[in-house]
Amino acid sequence: MPAKIIDGTAVARAMRADLEPQIAELKERGVTPGLTVVLVGQHPASQVYVRMKGKACEEAGLRSDTIRLAETTPESELLALIDRLNADPCVHGILVQLPLPRQISTHRVLHRILPGKDVDGFHPENVGKVAAGDPTGFRPATPYGVQQLLVRSGVETRGAHAVIVGRSNIVGRPMASLLLQDGPGGNATVTVCHSRTRDLPSVTRLADILVAAMGKPRFVTADMIRPGAVVIDVGVNRVDDPRKKKGYRLVGDVDFEPALGVASAITPVPGGVGPMTITMLLYNTVQAARQ
């Protein structure tokens, strides 16, 4: 029997509906949650993500601003902008779209955003809070979205062996923290794999829940998946496809079609983790306005 498709679009839609009363309550108190996104340069994928975030905010009734800066913007100018946004009471969430141009230190930029406005969850204070299980910390949107997908799809994480392929600060490491925590979507036994992991397939085949987040198209093949495992594909990769009008198509980090015959449930690309990432950004922005 082919794997059940975990529909991230449907789950995201339901979660946004759940958020509506919270937004309405804040507005009754005179507070409209506000997110400001800063985009430096003309990175094609970043421009798409920023447009999607702005559209999602508008549909949810949040105030959304996008500030676009030139590719040649000096670091000092960007830091000064962040200082102004930090001081603006109408801005509850600040998101600086990555990647940044080479002349700008990502480390310095992310550390400059006030922790209380860091809705991306990348400031060290929020990283520490999430690792400690402090609910006032902002959980990075993609791992947060994966956790909610598991919970709302009825996937039992308690006692399950979760294997994460990829150790980035954006997905892999915070994903491990969330799956380890006590509560819904947690209490898993977690293994984090990376480029130095020996005999990777032997480790991934131990997973009850396999999270692929290494950014390599179709890297996880069917023989790396334990029969009946739940597979969460975080990857979004462009591959050439002359049959498509744009000349490319999007694929995940999992070789999807063969994996369908092995996994019990799997997320598609697109339409899996992606819609959840933007939804959890909305949740974080509302949380920032409330706090």
Residues assigned a catalytic role: 53, 97, 120
Q: CA separation (Å) from 275 to 39, 75, 193, 233? A: 20, 31, 25, 13
CA angle 246/249/250 to nearest 5° reads 135
What's the rounded Cα separation, in Å, for the pair 152 and 269?
Answer: 18
What's the rounded Cα separation, in Å, for the pair 260 and 222?
Answer: 8
Contact predicate 179/190, CB 8 Å: yes
Contact predicate 144/178, CB 8 Å: yes
The SS3 of residue 97 is coil
Beta bridge partners of 211: 164, 232
Nearest to 164 by CA among 113, 220, 91: 220
Nearest to 151 by CA among 120, 121, 178: 178
Helical (H) or strand (E) element with 283: helix 273-290
What's the rounded Cα separation, in Å, for the pair 47 and 12?
Answer: 21
Contact predicate 84/117, CB 8 Å: no
